[in-house]
């Protein structure tokens, strides 16, 4: 999809979403959550309009850079900033020049490759831009210090499957 087609489609969808809110022109918003699907993997792009920070929230453990996301993060930031520049040009300009940071948190997974949608929904439900050390997501660790899988996270995911489905 071209950049122009992407911004046109994004604008159409944003107008539909904003039509159902009191803040029709993005006024008063401080946080934007953008779920992204790359291949068969869901993750979250979090934009803090107040602090001008951009975070990638991905349940998969690893130190891989942005190349892991096949340029989708960069495209989405660019598209969002083009959209936002019509409403809040200063915020859009500062966001455009912000390097996204991939968050690292204790419940990231190494072995669970199928529940990224559950993690995405939970992250959208309770992340508010706080420091990761203070973020209480409600997930326990996937494994112990020896690398053995612990049963508690599996139980939490089973519970959330019922809640979200």
Q: With 70 as the cut, is the pLDDT of residue 64 above it?
A: no
How confident is the model over 6-42, as pLDDT tens digits?
999 999 998 888 887 776 566 678 899 999 998 899 9
How far is the C-alpha of 52 from the C-alpha of 95, rounded, in Å? 6
How confident is the model over 69-79, as pLDDT tens digits?
888 999 999 99
**Per DSSP, what are the bridge partners of residue 32?**
47
Average pLDDT over residues 42-57: 94
How far is the C-alpha of 102 from the C-alpha of 45, rounded, in Å? 9
| Residue 40 belongs to domain spanning | 3-164
The confidence score (pLDDT) of residue 130 equals 87
How confident is the model over 105-122, as pLDDT tens digits?
989 998 888 899 999 999
The CATH number of residue 151's host domain is 3.40.395
Number of domains in the chain: 1
């Amino acid at each position: 999809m071209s950049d122009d087609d992407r911004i046109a489609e994004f604008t159409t969808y944003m107008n539909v979403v904003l039509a159902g809110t009191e803040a029709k022109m993005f006024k008063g918003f401080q946080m934007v959550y953008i779920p992204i699907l790359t291949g068969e993997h869901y993750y979250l792009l979090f934009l803090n309009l107040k602090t001008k920070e951009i975070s990638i929230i991905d349940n998969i453990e690893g130190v891989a850079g942005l190349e892991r996301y096949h340029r989708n993060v960069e495209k989405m930031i660019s598209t969002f900033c083009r959209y936002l520049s019509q409403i809040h040009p200063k915020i859009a300009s500062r966001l455009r020049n912000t390097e996204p940071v991939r968050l690292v948190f204790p419940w990231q997974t190494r072995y669970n490759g199928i529940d990224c949608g559950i993690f995405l929904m939970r992250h959208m439900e309770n992340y508010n831009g706080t420091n990761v050390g203070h973020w209480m997501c409600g997930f326990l660790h996937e494994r112990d210090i020896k690398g053995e899988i612990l049963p508690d996270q599996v139980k939490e995911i089973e519970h959330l499957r019922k809640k979200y489905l």
